[in-house]
């Protein structure tokens, strides 16, 4: 459904008459239903009758397919043709409102469901669902411009009455129940503009734990029965946020922070705007030491990604190394403060060894955004060592504050 977002007819008549003297269009176009054309060339990267079947040919074809839907190149997977009666609105830079109705049936990626076997209701079995995948994969579960263009978000999630929904932004009010009390709707609003890749969602029968230290409405969620472990695991998050704020001389960029622990998570963490999704495997009690160290490393990097990654984002994939590297560098400084200088030097040595081994066994690393990415170029996601060399040229306080 396409319609004019601004119903101010007087302003529209004045602006239209000044620019379109020949047409003298003095009415707003009526809302209209438009056909939607969906094209996903990644479903068949190589044709079945292709005679050349090599990894190089597949890589070339895969790169071509990705470019065919690259939003940074004004391409995409969903096409909606604007009718001529809406062209004067576009010519006057007036906003349009586009409503897309869609359904997600048995998704293969982007949105994951965890349904434990056993008897009892869905809530008793700990059923939950969550988003997770590589960056810029939000379009796998809702239609969006999946690139670096930021905007504000209003998210409404309707679930069963015994389920909990968690999304980026602040919860506007208590959930609204339907008349039969079988469903309830959560309303979230994210006032800080962010891009679509940093919008995520988690739904399930979670135990809820409001953070006792943070005053911004921070809340933590986990499946039933794991609340004592989660309380101990997330106890260091306020300390991390306070350290990063003091280091950067800037406040936490979002109005709140929420953490969700899920089963069968895609990676060590998924960072969305004010929302972090972790696997259950990093939960631990106060009696565990080894896992506590690894868990704090993962959480410190996830919290740092709220500053560099979700708030300050990359413009294109050529810039991916910078926010990811800055988040890693910031996390490394926290680990140095907590675990000591020797452990920090061991971490840096391990990462540099990985880089050297990669360059010896694969290709050289190139961070030049003026050139196209080919099979001989690569950027490493673990690149805090890049900023580590720049640290030597400026005093620490000035250097840290210049990052953010």
Rounded Cα gap, residues 91 and 316, in angstroms: 28
Contact 237, 210 (CB under 8 A): no
For the ranges 71-80, 105-114, 253-262, 351-360, the one whose mean pLDDT is highest: 253-262
pLDDT value at position 94? 84
Mark which of 98, 114, 129 sits at the end of a domain.
98
Average pLDDT over residues 94-121: 87
pLDDT value at position 21? 38
CB atoms under 10 Å from CB of 329, counted, come to 21
**Residues near 117 by beta carbon (within 8 Å), at least 6 away in sequence:** 125
Q: Which of 302, 325, 319 is nearest to 384 (CA)?
A: 325
Of 25 and 333, the one with more pLDDT: 333
pLDDT value at position 400? 62
pLDDT value at position 18? 46
Rounded Cα gap, residues 320 and 380, in angstroms: 9
Residues 33 and 149 in one domain: no
pLDDT value at position 184? 95
The kind and range of the H/E element at 389 are helix 384-390
- The pLDDT tens digits of the residues spanning 343-358 come to 999 999 998 999 899 8
**Residues near 265 by beta carbon (within 8 Å), at least 6 away in sequence:** 130, 132, 277, 278, 279, 280
Q: How far from chain centre, in Å, is Cα 29? A: 36
Q: State the CATH number of the domain containing residue 189.
A: 3.30.2010.30
pTM: 0.82
Q: How many domains does the chain have?
A: 3
State what percent of residues in the chain have pLDDT above 90.
Answer: 47
SS3 64: helix
Residue 120 confidence (pLDDT) above 70 = yes
Residues 80 and 151 in one domain: no
DSSP 32: B
Residue 397 confidence (pLDDT) above 70 = no
SS3 304: helix
pLDDT value at position 260? 97
Query: Does residue 75 belong to any structural domain of this protein?
Result: yes
Query: At 49, is the pLDDT very low, low, confident or very high (cuts 50, 70, 90)?
Result: low
CA gyration radius, the chain: 24
Average pLDDT over residues 124-134: 88
Rounded Cα gap, residues 381 and 402, in angstroms: 21
Rounded Cα gap, residues 66 and 129, in angstroms: 27
Query: At 98, is the pLDDT very low, low, confident or very high (cuts 50, 70, 90)?
Result: confident
Average pLDDT over residues 58-81: 81
Residues 218 and 257 in one domain: yes
Residue 187 confidence (pLDDT) above 80 = yes
Query: Does residue 235 belong to any structural domain of this protein?
Result: yes
Residues 90 and 110 in one domain: no
Rounded Cα gap, residues 222 and 259, in angstroms: 9
Torsion angle of alpha carbons 213, 219, 222, 228, nearest 10°?
A: 20
Q: What is each CA distance from 87 to 70, 82, 344, in whole angstroms?
A: 25, 8, 58
Residue 244 confidence (pLDDT) above 60 = yes
Least confidently predicted of 43-47, 113-117, 164-168, 391-395: 391-395
Mark which of 45, 74, 98 sits at the end of a domain.
98
- The pLDDT tens digits of the residues spanning 189-207 come to 999 999 999 999 999 999 9
Mark which of 50, 65, 98 sits at the end of a domain.
98
Residues 146 and 259 in one domain: yes
Range of the domain at 261: 104-282
Of 108 and 223, the one with more pLDDT: 223
């Amino acid at each position: 459904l396409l319609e004019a977002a601004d119903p101010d007819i007087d302003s529209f008549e004045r602006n239209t008459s000044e620019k379109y003297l020949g047409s003298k269009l003095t009415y707003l176009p009526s809302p209209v239903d438009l056909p939607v054309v969906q094209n996903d060339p990644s479903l068949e990267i190589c044709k079945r009758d292709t005679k050349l079947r090599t990894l190089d040919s597949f890589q070339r074809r895969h790169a071509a397919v990705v470019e065919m839907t690259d939003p940074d190149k004004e391409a995409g997977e969903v096409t909606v043709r604007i009718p001529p009666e809406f062209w004067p609105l576009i010519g006057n830079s007036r906003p349009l409102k586009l409503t897309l109705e869609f359904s997600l049936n048995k998704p293969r990626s982007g949105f994951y469901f965890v349904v434990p076997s056993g008897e009892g209701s869905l809530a008793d079995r700990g059923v939950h669902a969550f988003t997770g995948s590589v960056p810029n994969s939000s379009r796998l579960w809702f239609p969006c411009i999946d690139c670096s263009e930021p905007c504000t978000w209003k998210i409404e999630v309707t679930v069963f009455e015994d389920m909990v929904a968690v999304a980026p932004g602040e919860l506007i009010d208590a959930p609204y129940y339907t008349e039969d009390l079988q469903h309830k709707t959560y309303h979230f609003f994210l006032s800080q503009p962010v891009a679509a890749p940093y919008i995520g969602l988690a739904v399930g029968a979670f135990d809820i734990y409001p953070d006792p230290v943070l005053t911004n409405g921070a809340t933590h969620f986990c499946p039933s029965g794991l609340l004592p472990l989660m309380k101990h695991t997330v106890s260091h998050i306020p300390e991390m946020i306070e350290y990063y704020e003091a280091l950067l001389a800037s406040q936490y960029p979002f109005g709140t922070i929420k953490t969700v622990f899920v089963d069968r998570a895609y990676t060590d963490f998924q960072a969305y705007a004010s929302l972090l999704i972790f696997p259950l495997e990093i939960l631990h009690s106060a009696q565990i030491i080894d896992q506590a160290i690894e868990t704090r490393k993962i959480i410190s990097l996830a919290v740092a990604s709220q500053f560099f990654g979700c708030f300050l984002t990359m413009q294109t994939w050529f810039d991916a190394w910078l926010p990811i590297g800055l988040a890693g560098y910031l996390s490394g400084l926290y680990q140095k403060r907590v675990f000591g200088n020797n452990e920090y030097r061991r971490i840096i040595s391990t990462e540099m060894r990985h880089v050297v081994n990669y360059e010896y066994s694969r290709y050289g690393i190139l961070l030049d955004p003026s050139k196209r990415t080919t099979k001989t170029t690569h950027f490493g996601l673990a690149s805090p060592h890049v900023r580590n060399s720049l640290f030597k040229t400026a005093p620490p306080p000035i250097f840290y504050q210049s990052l953010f």
